[in-house]
Amino acid sequence: MYALVDGNNFYVSCERVFRPSLIGRPTVVLSNNDGCCIARSNEAKALGIKMGAPWFKVKHLEESAGLVALSANFALYGDLSDRMMSLAAGLGPSQEIYSIDESFIGLDGVRGDLVERAHKIRSRILQWVGIPCGIGIGSTKTLAKLANHIAKTAERKPGVYPDHLAMVCNLSALAAHEREAVFNATEVGEVWGIGRRISKQLVDGGIKTVQDLVRMDAATVRRGWSVVLERTVRELQGTPCIGLDDAPAPKKEVACTRSFGHPVTDLASLTEVVTAFSSRAAEKIRKQHSLASVVLVFVRTSPFRKDEQYSRSICIPLRRPTSDTGAIVNAAVLGLQAIYLGGFKYAKAGVMLMDLQPDGVVQGELDLEDGDSLVDIADKASLMTALDEINSRYGRGTMTMASAGVDAKQKTWRMRQERMTPRYTTCLADLPIARAV
Residues that bind other proteins (CB under 8 A): 19-21, 83-84, 86-87, 127-130, 382-383, 385-386, 389-390, 393, 424-425, 431-437
- Closest distance to other proteins from the beta carbon of 2 (Å): 23
Nearer to other proteins, 368 or 436 (CB): 436
Pair 299, 348: CB distance under 8 Å: yes
Shorter beta-carbon distance to other proteins: residue 21 or 64: 21
What minimum distance in Å lies between the beta carbon of 149 and other proteins? 26
Nearest of 251, 279, 298, 259 to residue 387 by alpha carbon: 279
Q: Going by DSSP bridges, is the β-strand pair 168-170/311-322 parallel, antiparallel, or unpaired? A: unpaired
- Report the alpha-carbon distance of residue 114 to residue 117 in Å, rounded: 5
- Check if the beta carbon of residue 297 is closer than 8 Å to that of residue 385: no
Number of neighbouring beta carbons within 10 Å of residue 36: 18
| CB within 8 Å of 159: residues ≥ 6 apart | none
* Shortest separation between residue 23's beta carbon and other proteins, angstroms: 8
Contact (CB, 8 A) for 166 and 141 = no
Cα 405 from Cα 279, distance rounded (Å):
13
- DSSP 8-state class, residue 127: I
Largest CA distance in the chain: 77
Q: How far is the CB of 77 from other proteins (least distance, A)?
A: 15
Nearest approach in angstroms of CB 15 to other proteins is 13
Under DSSP, the state recorded for 190 is G
206: alpha, beta or left, given left = phi > 0 and alpha = psi -120 to 50? left
Q: How far is the CB of 163 from other proteins (least distance, A)?
A: 24
Nearer to other proteins, 11 or 413 (CB): 11
Detail the DSSP E strand segments found in 152-203.
168-170
Backbone φ and ψ for 350, nearest 5 degrees, come out as -160, 160
Q: How far is the CB of 18 from other proteins (least distance, A)?
A: 8
Nearer to other proteins, 20 or 112 (CB): 20
The least distance separating other proteins from the CB of residue 434, rounded to whole angstroms, comes to 4
Would you say 219 or 374 has its CB closer to other proteins?
A: 374
Name which of 84 and 135 has its Cβ closer to other proteins.
Answer: 84
Q: Smaller CB distance to other proteins: residue 298 or 424? A: 424
CB nearer to other proteins: pick between 340 and 424: 424
